[in-house]
Amino acid sequence: MKLHKPDLTLVDEKELVALLQKGDKGAFGELYHRYKRKLYYNFRKLLKSESQAEELLQQLFVKIWENRLSLDPDKVFKAYLFRIAENLVYDFFRKASRDKNMGAILMTVATENYSHIEEAIYSKEREALINRAVASLPPQRRHVFTLCKLEGKTYEEVSVELGISTSTINDHIVKATRSVREYLFVSKEFALLFLLAFFIK
């Protein structure tokens, strides 16, 4: 008499990871099915290439299978999965850094998603990099940026506090944001924050 296999679509993730750790190909397939669409979308958006996105997706799950014995069912599998994805994309861009066309793609995507990157920095407590960028600003511009962007004060509140017009404050913010963006783009740490913006949970 054959044992009835459970419907893996109804099995929770922790149990699937435990099964995968034991070499269960069905559990592996179910985890792949649950995450492939989101991961593929992120890869394609970053790489601007369907074929490269598909290739990295396959590499990612090959790594998952090869390292299945080191998986810990008590840890969040999604976080582990997306960390590998971040590393794969980072390696891809690092290897392609000598290619001018690839560099242009990276800069274009990064520029389009600057606000998302900024959110990722704050939500993941990566203040060190942004603080260094802000510290490089002229004193008055740095003060205005800190009050508005980091402390969350309104233009009107800052206008009263500093005795300057809201239009002057806006000018400081526009120029400060541009300077901070440029600082991030030339930073070695920017690549990781850039990837985080796409793979953030």
Cβ proximity of 77 and 85 under 8 Å: no
pLDDT tens for the chain, 201 residues: list them. Answer: 444 566 777 788 899 999 999 999 999 999 999 999 988 888 887 777 888 889 999 999 999 999 999 999 888 888 888 888 878 877 777 676 555 555 555 555 554 544 444 444 444 445 677 778 889 999 999 999 999 988 889 999 999 999 999 999 999 999 998 888 777 655 555 555 555 554 444
Q: 48-106: per-residue pLDDT in tens?
A: 788 888 999 999 999 999 999 999 988 888 888 888 887 887 777 767 655 555 555 55
Domains of the chain by start residue, with CATH:
1-97 (1.10.1740.10), 113-201 (1.10.10.10)
Q: Give the whole-angstrom CA distance, residue 4 versus residue 6.
A: 6
Structure confidence at residue 151 (pLDDT): 85
Q: Is the dihedral of CA 85, 87, 89, 91 positive or negative?
A: negative
Q: Is the pTM of this model over 0.95?
A: no
**What burial letters (b/e) apply to 34-60, b meaning 16+ CB within 10 Å?**
bbeeebbebbbebbeeeebbeebbeeb
